[in-house]
Amino acid sequence: MKPKIIAVVGPTSSGKTALGIYLAQKLHGEVISADSRQVYKGLNLGTGKVTKKEMAGVPHHLLDVASPKRIFSASDFKKLGERAIAKIIKNRHVPIVVGGTGLYADVLLGRMVLPEVPPNFKFRAKLEKKSAAELFALLQKKDPERAANIEPGHRRRLIRALEIAEAMGKSPAKAGAMQGEEKYDVLWLGLNPGLEVLQKRIAKRLRARLKRGMFTEVSALHKQGLSYRRMEALGLEYRSMAEYLQNKITKEKMIEDLDRAIVHYAKRQLRWFKRNLHIVWITNRQEALQLAKKFTA
């Protein structure tokens, strides 16, 4: 029998973290975070990382496993994620993958195989001269499917996506990249409270994180050697705050831009997850628990 794993996915601010912890408490589970930025040490308020208090004693994996100064890839995540799954199963607990980075969840759980395309440094150097807007426009032409699910301002991901499209000559998804090896029996649970609710939650959550000290966090990271250029590559909150701290935009403009950018990000997340027809979209935690109990019985 394949190991049983529960995956809780959905857009930012949909309630994934709380649901994952609730299910872990009820099912003797442990959480594996599937978030491309929460893997980095020190990126706490900016990523909305779960606190020790919020964990409520539930073990969490794949948080704070890399330095923000270096690039952590989906391949790195898959390797560490598989180790975490093996450890949790050995403990006779239920692995619960929780997160909004669809690529990470799909790669770890076997829905997607990453194309093995080696770095093309000459091609990258050529792309480095282009702006994020130019890179995004180029990706829309070369691989519109990937462009529909990528953050337009994330230069590193744009360059990598273009590098893969250049090497393969077509969209990785159309080339069969979605045909992964299904090593696990997965119950996919999705959360989507609707765009109007998400917009309100995103705005409220952003202001709460700013009040709790997001400026202080980002300033401290810069003093510790994290360059503004690297912050911009990390995207969303870190990109906007780097621009603000360099006096490129006002505080009001930063908050306005972030509200809009995070909502756009949530929409991209939903587009990604809606391709997965195995996801059961739930409306409350009782429904999720009932499905999870039946699945793990």
Q: Is residue 135 within 8 Å of residue 158, measured between CB atoms?
A: yes
Residue-wise pLDDT for 181-219, tens only, equals 678 999 999 999 999 999 999 999 999 999 999 999 999
Kindly indicate the confidence band of residue 179, based on its pLDDT and cuts at 50, 70 and 90: low
pLDDT of 11 reads 97
Q: How far apart are CA 75 and CA 81, in angstroms?
A: 10
**15-19, 29-33, 115-119: least confident range:** 115-119
Residue 83, pLDDT above cutoff 60: yes
Averaged pLDDT for residues 6-29: 97
Q: Is the pLDDT reported for residue 171 higher than 80?
A: no
Share of the chain above pLDDT 90, in %: 76
pLDDT greater than 90 at residue 221: yes
Provide DSSP, 152-174: TT-HHHHHHHHHHHHHHSS-TII
- pLDDT band of residue 52 (cuts 50, 70, 90) is very high
Q: How far apart are CA 177 and CA 202, in angstroms?
A: 32
For residue range 234-282, list pLDDT tens digits in order: 989 999 999 999 999 999 999 999 999 999 999 999 999 999 999 999 9
Mean pLDDT of the chain: 92
Q: Give the CA diameter of the chain.
A: 57
Sheet holding 94-99, edge to edge: 60-61, 29-33, 94-99, 4-9, 185-191, 280-282
Higher local confidence (pLDDT), 4 or 182: 4
Q: Write down all domains in the chain, each with its CATH number in brackets.
A: 116-174 (1.10.20.140), 196-265 (1.10.287.890)
| pLDDT above 50 (res 31) | yes
E strand or H helix at 220, and its extent?
helix 214-223
Q: Read off the pLDDT band of 175 (50, 70, 90).
A: very low
Least confident of 113-117, 120-124, 159-163, 179-183: 179-183
Q: How far apart are alpha carbons 268 and 284 in whole angstroms?
A: 23
Q: Is the pLDDT of residue 176 over 50?
A: no
Distance between CA atoms of residues 165 and 156, nearest Å: 14
In this predicted structure, the answer to whether residue 151 has a pLDDT above a threshold of 80 is no
Strands 60-61 and 4-9: unpaired
How would residue 143 be classed by pLDDT, with cut points 50, 70 and 90?
Answer: confident
